Amino acid sequence: MKPFLSVVCANLRGSNAKRRQDKQTNKREVNAGQPVFIKSHHDRSLVFADSLLLKTLCGSMSTEQLQSRVNPSLHSSPGGCLSLTFEADFSNTERHTGFRAFYTVQDVDECWHSDLKCSHFCQNYIGGYSCSCKPGYHLSEDRHTCIVNCTEERFGSGVLTPPGSPGPYYENAHCSYTLTVDEGEQLILSFIGEFDVESRDGRCVDSLTIKTDSATFGPFCGQEAPAPINTAARRIKVLFRTDQGGTNQGFSLSYNTKLMECPGIVTANSILSPQKRVYTKGDTVTVQCVTGYSVDSATKKTFESTCLRSGKWSPVYSCELVDCGIPEIKEPDLIALTEEDPLTTYKQNISFRCLSEHYKLHGHDSFTCNASGQWETIEHLLSPQVDLPRCIPVCGMNKQTFSAGRVFGGEDAKLGQIPWQLLTKQPNRGGASLISDRWAITAAHVVVGQETKTLMFYGGMIDSLDQNAVKMETEKIIIHPGYKVENPYQTNYDNDIALVKMSARVPLSTNIMPVCLPEKSNGPVMEGKLGTVSGFGGTSENPLRSRYLQYGHVKEYSEVPCFDTTLKVTDNMFCAGGDEGVDTCKGDAGGPLVIPLLGRGSPETPYRLKGIVSWGPAKCGDTNFKGYYTKVENYLDWIRETMETN
């Protein structure tokens, strides 16, 4: 079988176009003319619209049959193609006449058939269509939608109504009216008559909005007219927006003029003096910021402002919320704010914390920003010089407790058991007690003559040869002014006390911590308690020195002399010793005597430095003789004053 293909594609339009207001499209038609005589079952004619098969024809049909059954369906889509395929084989036993087809091109009425609707009117023409609008409207950029663009400028007084008034206002309206009056005057707006702007479920479908340079009124809609508006402006914009439907009646806006008035507020967060109902040109007021606010974040609370002809105040300054700022922290490595970025304005609170567990906060920890821009506690204002909280070392705590031993002939101390014990080796071997992270206390005779030199102290260890010991260089050595050296052999130990300031802060840990200073007492120095004395001095095995830290328990002897001596004994000394030869010896001088007994300290009962190893009999460990200790509580004022001033 050989196919014969005929394709009909046309873009022509006929002249018998009809005009309607609905959109139409173009179509092409093929009409069969003469009867079809295709007898063979193997011969046929196929008609396609684009790729869609419309009809398969064979056999014999009259013109009337074609017109009624076939032709009505033989048309293309708008702008499309019709194709005709004829197929015949070689088995014809008789001659057939075939067929005859005619094709035409017809114009389509877009106004009738198209989905693109014109808002108002549609005009069809050969080859296309166009939209047009009712009077008062014009086509938008999409060439289909009719809109109202009612931009207008007015001066003075009058009445403003929406486009289409009287009667329903126009749809698709985008109105912008500019109303202006002379300088020194302001516009007063009031709605008169009916107010009817479309709304639905409490929301504006259409809207009326009034704007000045400094305020916006609206949007308004519904059927309740807004209250009169004193715009306080000589130039305003009235914006009216509508959608595509509705039959609402709109509004009548009366606009009139009056002398310009200044508003009853100059700046936020302030009050005016004098108070008046109306302020006009030339009025001058005192503006006072309310509590907690100040002028431009400064300490100034008031300023004067004058009402100008334009209805504006001048000058105008802001009343800003008072900000106390972040206090300057002098030791940021020890103390910090509890919050990293706290609020610091009026009535806000800040608090402090120590960065190390080995320190505790001294002073007020919480402050509130007051209306004057200063931090204060419940009791008083914060003064950076004296009232900022400080982190001071935790004192009188040790790592753990163990059973008692002896200094002369005693047992070794454990690491962290006596963390305030210090040792100096040159030029004189002696002990000291750490009393803060910068200061130590010792006997004057240990450091006398070294005031202008730099000594080395060791701490945080129990082995005097420990290479990992904390090393501390001295910055200042301050001997009590009452200490006197009467001869080279030291015949007077009165005021045998000295303070040593280290050149850098001592790194506190569980192995090196300060001991607490004592409290003044009216009775016995040791309060009738057993105490503990420690040092790296002589032992029974080595009367000159001990490699390891030793300690022993002693008690106070107040009624009998420690031993017979020609040296002067004063009220700045007290006698103490232990049983079975427990005693201090050469090399222990300057070391601590603390209460309570080692192993019985607690946060409620910290270890306190009651005595400093000072002097004793020539022979150590004699059960009949005891040693003398400097009475630390007699020097508390001198200690604190010296530390504060140095």
Residues flagged as binding site for Ca(2+): 89, 91, 107-108, 110, 124-125, 128, 198, 206, 243
Residue 95's contacts (CB-CB under 8 Å, 6 or more residues apart) are: none
Indicate left, alpha or beta for 626 from its phi (over 0: left) and psi (-120 to 50: alpha): beta
Q: How far is CA 574 from CA 280, 520, 587, in A?
A: 88, 14, 19
Which has the closest alpha carbon to 17: 136, 127, 140?
A: 127
Report the 10 Å Cβ neighbour count for 585: 26
Report the 10 Å Cβ neighbour count for 26: 24
613 token code pair: 């190893």
Whether 468 and 625 have beta carbons less than 8 Å apart is answered as no
7 token code pair: 């394709």
* Run of H or E residues at 65: helix 63-65
Terminal CA-CA length for the chain:
122
Phi, psi for residue 397 in degrees, rounded to 5 = -110, 145
32 token code pair: 């069969």
Integer-rounded Cα Rg, in Å, for the chain is 54
* Burial of 572: CB neighbours in 10 Å, binned 0-12, 13-18, 19+: buried
Residue with the two structure tokens 């080796």: 425
DSSP 8-state symbol, 35: P
3-state secondary structure 601-639: CCCCCCCEEEEEEEECCCCCCCCCCCEEEEEHHHHHHHH
Give me the amino acid identity at 60.
S
Q: How far is CA 191 from CA 86, 220, 279, 547, in A?
A: 79, 12, 25, 103
Which has the closest alpha carbon to 542: 426, 407, 423?
A: 407
Rounded to whole angstroms, the Cα distance separating 338 from 334 reads 13
* Run of H or E residues at 64: helix 63-65
Rounded to whole angstroms, the Cα distance separating 337 from 341 reads 8
* Peptide bond just before 219 cis, omega within 30 deg: yes
Residue 640's contacts (CB-CB under 8 Å, 6 or more residues apart) are: none
3-state secondary structure 293-317: EEECCCCCCEEEEEECCCCCEECCC
Burial 375-408 (b: 16+ CB within 10 A, else e): bbeeeeebeeeebbbbbbbbbbbbeeeeebbbbb
Rounded to whole angstroms, the Cα distance separating 137 from 147 reads 5
Which has the closest alpha carbon to 74: 99, 92, 56?
A: 56
Residues at the binding site are 89, 91, 107-108, 110, 124-125, 128, 198, 206, 243
Alpha carbon 7 to its chain centroid, in Å, reads 74
Whether 337 and 326 have beta carbons less than 8 Å apart is answered as yes
Q: Residue 188: beta bridge partners?
A: 230, 256
